[in-house]
Structure 1
Amino acid sequence: GGAAFELVLDFVYSQGQVEVPTERVVACMCVADYLQIRRLARACVDRFSASLSPESAPMLLRQALDLGMSLLAGLAQDCVAANFESYAPEQLGVLTPDAVCEVLERQRGTRQALYGRERERISHCVAAFLGGGRPLDAATYRRLLSLLDGGVPHCLDACTVLARAREFGDEETARLCLTELVSSFGSVRGGGPGGGWDTLDAQTFVEVLESGDLR
């Protein structure tokens, strides 16, 4: 609003000597982002990053992306990536599949490899975005799938990934999912972060039973 714009002018004319009040940080950051006033933007980022909570970061990221505010989006994205392990998949449900891909790619890029529980959580998150009746194009499907690093989805998520793989004609991923479902048949339940047996049609369920001679 006008107050934020006046503060921006004061900041510029004072050569960065005016302090940005906490309650004006987001508004000033948006103006600085739009006008590409880098020094003000950096001052806002430094002030805002100290008060950004992990709980509010996913919604802030969604809003920043909707408004085209790249600095604010980057700040929120870093916060979500840094705190990824603390989120349940549904907490990231406010984001688009592409946005969550960017978060996970950034989070993965800070590590040489993913291990154990962290890999399992990414599997849950990928399955949550593959499932739930979300419309996906082939490019986004592939991007989500790439976050598994070529690995097999966790057993609880394999049903959901299998259903999407069949939808996109991805027989290699479907084969990996079938193998996982057969090997972990007793531990898969209906429902879960990405779905369960109820995400499969009857024919595919029978195929799982036949593949493992489980009838």
Structure 2
Amino acid sequence: MEKSQGLLIVLSGPSGAGKGTLCQELLRQMPSLRYSVSLSTRSPRPGEVEGIHYYFGTRNEFESMIARDELLEWAEFCDNYYGTPRFAVEQALQEGLDVILEIEIQGALQIKKRFPQGVFTFIVPPSLDVLSERIHKRGTETEEVIQKRLAKAIQELEYVSEYDYVVVNDEVPVAVDKLKSILVAEKCRVKRKPFVFKGESV
């Protein structure tokens, strides 16, 4: 039987919605799932490992990749480039492996234009109050920055309609189960794996 192509799963949502936590738990429960490592031109932070957290490169290298159309998506934040290399993702999908990307909305919408058959899921918090509480608990940002993040989150929620699914991240185990159910359902779509009955006529 011909091996079917893997699924490209894209997770997006406001900062503080818990995308990273859900992604890590999904990867833990589904060892066959592949995580797409992004490319960045910023310097590695303490504890970050090349090829695990990010691929790190120079601006010239990144711009050359843009020119050669070697990125599924890319953006520039705070004078640094961030993007998703195409080769590793496309190779894994062709091998029948499912690949998950945890990226910002801007990048997700770029990928949707290039790869509309992907599975696009928007992660949201139960409420803005919960989102505010989560961001405050980090203790890493000033109140001014937190308020900017909350304002941005309200704007980002307007993009929910661009996605295939929305998952409320209230309790992590429940949200992970919903994500797993989405993947099972997507693999059963006729358009992904047409089924032809080769038996006797009824």
Band of TM-score, shorter chain: under 0.3
Structure having the larger proportion of residues in strand:
2
Structure having the larger proportion of residues in helix:
1
- Higher Cα Rg, which structure: 1
